């Protein structure tokens, strides 16, 4: 539809950069195409987030963290020693039992806090994966409209150029008008190819995220496109982000982990206890078995510096939590205002600008055929029409990008 497609790139998961790069390099226009492209709805695309490697890795990390909580509550490993002699038949048995105190409760708290951090990271990975698929889907939708708009404009400009050619052959227009019309038709034809290439690139990104490895498989979005979703007030959205955002939860969990580490370091200032029991048997110098029991203490000489380190990490976590709140507030407000601006722009273009541009282009064609205008006004009207169509698709894409960012910041991407 449009002769000026943008080069706006779709935001992606950081760890999927190589995947997207491969999708761009592996595209081949000469590949065999299936008879009918695969239609993908937004809901279907979002379901594919569970299959992304990053999310699977986050799930595995969460399982490991949960196992770490169970491990923190277990008693330390026992040690058993057996010895015999080469001259006498004496046998020695020795058992060492380290006690989990001091610091067992604090150690469990640290493990639970670390599991909470990993849980928040898992939620971040889930939302980021869904956001990447949402953005890729909206980009394909916009590129489809842009490619169609470029083709429509090329057809209209070519028809105008053909009509000017007929008038030139009849001696009714100058060579300048014919050359200008042909140049505009050539540029519009080149724009069609560029728009199609960008459409195919957007398809390749979505195709890889969906796990479709066939290069020749075409993708199209299911229509009608989703309508604009209701957006809560900015104050409500910001409050929800502070309460439910994975970034806020992760920052809070890191503070709790740091505080638990301070308690653990404080508990580890006391000596550690190890209960030891042994028995000597078959000693020819004495009757019966010689049993022994004792307690050993481990003196924590480095406990003071360790406690200072833990306190410094706690203060750092508190400062980063405050910084995270500021970043969340900035992200929510930016996404909210961008989404509102894109929504207003789309509605203005759809209801006012595009119909007016269409009417102006049609009237310019009629005026030119009747000799009441020149070719330059016709081409200007066609360009304005193309820009209105491009702006319509770009506004919808901008809304999709901003809305995805808002859902990600709030932590409510549940579609």
Report pLDDT for 20: 37
CB 226 within 8 A of CB 103: no
pLDDT over threshold 50, residue 105:
yes
216 pLDDT tier (thresholds 50, 70, 90): confident
pLDDT digit string (tens) for 288-319? 888 889 888 887 877 778 889 999 999 999 99
Contact of 161 with 185, CB cutoff 8 Å: yes
Selection from 289, 285, 278 nearest residue 82 by Cα: 278
50-76 tens-digit pLDDT: 888 888 999 999 999 999 998 888 888
Mean pLDDT, all residues of the chain? 84
Q: Peptide bond before 71: cis, by omega within 30 degrees of 0? A: no
- The values of phi and psi at residue 40, to 5°, are -125, 125
pLDDT tens-digit map of 266-284: 888 888 888 889 998 888 7
Task: Give the pLDDT score at 244.
Answer: 84
Are the beta carbons of 391 and 345 closer than 8 angstroms?
yes
For 199-312, list the strands marked E by DSSP. 219-221, 272-281, 290-298
Give the rounded distance of the alpha carbon of 71 from its chain centre. Answer: 32
Q: Does residue 90 surpass a pLDDT of 60?
A: yes
Q: For position 16, what pLDDT does the model report?
A: 40
pLDDT per residue over 323-374, tens digit each?
Answer: 999 999 998 999 899 888 888 999 999 999 999 999 999 999 888 888 888 8
Domains of the chain (ranges; CATH) run 41-410 (1.20.1600.10)
Peptide bond into 102 cis (omega under 30): yes
Q: Report CA Rg, the chain.
A: 35
Phi/psi at 278 (nearest 5 deg)? -150, 170
Residue 245 has a pLDDT of 85
Q: What is the largest CA-CA distance in the chain?
A: 134
Whether the pLDDT of residue 88 is over 60: the answer is yes
**Cβ atoms 78, 97 nearer than 8 A:** yes
How far is residue 155 from each of residues 6, 222, 241, 305, 393, measured CA to CA in Å? 21, 25, 48, 77, 19
């Amino acid at each position: 539809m449009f002769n000026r497609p943008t080069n706006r790139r779709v935001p992606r998961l950081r760890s999927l950069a190589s995947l997207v790069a491969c999708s761009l390099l592996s595209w081949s226009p000469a590949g065999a195409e299936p008879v009918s492209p695969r239609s993908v709805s937004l809901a279907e695309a979002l379901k594919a987030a569970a299959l992304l490697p990053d999310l699977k890795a986050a799930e595995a990390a969460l399982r490991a963290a949960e196992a770490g909580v169970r491990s923190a509550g277990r008693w330390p490993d026992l040690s058993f020693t057996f010895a015999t002699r080469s001259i006498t038949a004496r046998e020695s048995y020795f058992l060492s039992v380290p006690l989990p105190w001091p610091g067992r409760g604090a150690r469990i708290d640290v493990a639970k806090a670390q599991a909470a951090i990993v849980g928040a990271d898992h939620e971040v990975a889930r939302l980021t994966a869904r956001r990447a698929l949402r953005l890729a889907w909206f980009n394909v939708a916009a590129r489809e409209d842009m490619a169609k708009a470029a083709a429509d404009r090329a057809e209209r400009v070519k028809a105008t150029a053909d009509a000017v050619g007929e008038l030139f052959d009849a001696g009714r227009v100058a060579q300048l008008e014919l050359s200008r019309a042909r140049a505009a038709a050539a540029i519009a034809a080149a724009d069609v190819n560029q728009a199609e290439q960008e459409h195919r690139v957007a398809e390749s990104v979505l195709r890889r995220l969906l796990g479709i490895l066939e290069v020749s498989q075409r993708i199209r979005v299911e229509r009608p496109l989703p309508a604009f979703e209701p957006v809560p007030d900015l104050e409500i959205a910001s409050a929800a982000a502070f309460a439910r955002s994975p970034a806020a939860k992760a920052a809070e969990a890191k503070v709790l982990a740091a505080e638990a580490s301070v308690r653990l370091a404080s508990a580890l200032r006391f000596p550690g206890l190890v209960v030891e029991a042994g028995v000597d048997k078959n000693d020819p110098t004495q009757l019966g078995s010689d049993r022994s029991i004792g307690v050993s203490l481990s003196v924590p000489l480095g406990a003071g510096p360790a406690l200072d380190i833990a306190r410094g990490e706690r203060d750092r976590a508190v400062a980063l939590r405050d910084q995270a709140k500021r970043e969340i507030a900035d992200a929510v407000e930016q996404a909210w205002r961008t989404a509102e601006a894109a929504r207003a722009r789309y509605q203005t273009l759809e209801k006012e600008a595009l119909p007016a541009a269409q009417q102006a282009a049609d009237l310019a064609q009629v005026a030119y055929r009747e000799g009441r205008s020149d070719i330059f006004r016709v081409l200007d009207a066609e360009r304005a029409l193309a820009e209105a169509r491009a702006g319509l698709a770009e506004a919808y894409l901008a809304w999709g990008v901003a809305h995805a960012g808002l859902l990600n910041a709030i932590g409510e991407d549940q579609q």
